[in-house]
Structure 1
Amino acid sequence: MKKTIAILAAGTAFGVVAMPAAAQNMGSSDFTGPRVEAIIGYDVSKAGSTSDNDINDQDDESIDGLMYGVGIGYDVDMGGVVVGVEGEYTDSTAKTEYSNGGDFEGFGLGRVDAGRDLYVGARVGAKVSPDLLAYVKGGYTNARYNVLATDGENELDENIDTDGWRLGAGLEYAMSDNMFTKIEYRYSKYSEAEIDFQDLPDSDRFDIDTDRHQVVASVGMRF
């Protein structure tokens, strides 16, 4: 039976003391410059359509949990349009909850943990209001899954590095000249992978079919 989780309650309170000279700029935010942010949200990885098991309804074939990390970026505000580049390093608590009632065949036998996720990409947005930006994004993602598998005699404890692409959309609100908050949905598709052996060269690349969905919130600073 598929597991349903409802997550995301995040609140942030800030006190801002504005300098008199900066008061003239209020109401017309400039999204230009480098930025850093802290990210947290809901993360789920699922077997894709070509590897989904529709025969055994006991197989959940998904892992979900809390995603957290940091991001950096640089944006250029061209008036009504903002363009930028960005990168992230995140991790996740998502892992299999293996039981006698089912097996996560989309990820292999045994235990699977979602590991670090590297992302680099670009975004473009339009100002909905002077301090609110609606944007879309896309880029490259390299996610790691930590796999522990056994056949009763031999044990495999290795990392699988996966390559894929990511698309997303979100809203960014400028709380002040240098503080902002964001909410974002993104979808990632992983189609190639390799086993990252600890004591041997990495395996040849092989095809996979894994989908990833994330709903995240961020708070950050622009310099």
Structure 2
Amino acid sequence: MKKILIAAASLVALTAPVSAQEVSNFGGAKVGAMVGYDKVRLEYDGLDGSKDGFLYGLTAGYDVDFGTAVIGIEGEVSDSSTKETVTDLLVEGDRWSLSTGRDLYVGARLGFPVNPTVMLYAKGGYTNARAKLSVSYDGDSASEGDNLDGYRVGGGAEFTNGGHFARLEYRYSDYGSYEYEDFDTGIKAKRHQIAVTGGFRF
């Protein structure tokens, strides 16, 4: 019995440092910058068009690391070069252009560390995008800026060494049906993005 107890104590002593090394490094505050790909799609009555652009922005948040799971909140401000133009949308000869502006996001994410330096995660939250709509028809034109409310979901992989982090992420945003001067145009706005983010943890 004494030999068994000594062997058990030795095993615990040997495995304790290994267990300590398995603690992941995804907790705490973080700030970062992002670049990536932005695709805006407009849909109306079975018709659709899309345009690509360049995504850029800043992000900040806070994560709580429970070891087997990570829960966090984050905010983001971004912009892109994307501009979508569709013709003959409501009547023949019309021209609708939607230029993207600043995009604000706040949401939560749930992650699962694969090892101390790699985590897979999913996210979701609220997004508010600024857009400028321009309409022209038969020589007349009008334009107006507006905010589009919607939701965002996404997921990706994050890598960290404790003090720095990098991640690759896919995001889908849905802004519902666009209203112009209280008139529901029936035009639905959506966007797909792939973002690469790098930053600091502290």
What's the TM-score once normalised by structure 2's chain length?
0.79
Q: How many residues of Structure 1 are paired with residues of Structure 2 in the alignment?
A: 179
Which structure dedicates a bigger proportion of its chain to strand? 2
Q: Cα 1:126–1:111, aligned 2, differ >3 Å: closer, same or farther?
A: same
1:105 Cα shift? 3.4
C-alpha distance after superposition, 1:84-138 (max 9, x if no partner): 0011111010113x6xxx72739x7243211111111000000011110100000
Gaps of 5+ in 2: 1-19
Q: Who is 1:66 aligned against?
A: 54
**1:148 has 2:134 as partner:** yes
1:172 Cα shift? 0.4
Q: Who is 2:80 aligned against?
A: 92
C-alpha distance after superposition, 1:39-82 (max 9, x if no partner): 1111101124x5441xxxxxx61121101000111100011100
Alignment of 1:48-197 (within 5 A): 48=43, 51-53=45-47, 61-96=49-84, 103=87, 105=89, 109-174=95-160, 176-195=161-180
* 2:37 aligns with one of 35, 42, 45: 42
The alignment-based identity, stated in percent, is 40
| Higher Rg of the two aligned structures | 2
What's the TM-score once normalised by structure 1's chain length?
0.72
| Aligned counterparts of 2:87 and 2:62: Cα–Cα separation in 1 | 43
Gaps of 5+ in 1: 1-24, 54-59, 196-202
CA RMSD, Structure 1 to Structure 2 (Å): 2.4
| Aligned counterparts of 1:205 and 1:29: Cα–Cα separation in 2 | 51
C-alpha distance after superposition, 1:170-217 (max 9, x if no partner): 00000x22100000001111115455xxxxxxx437464222111110
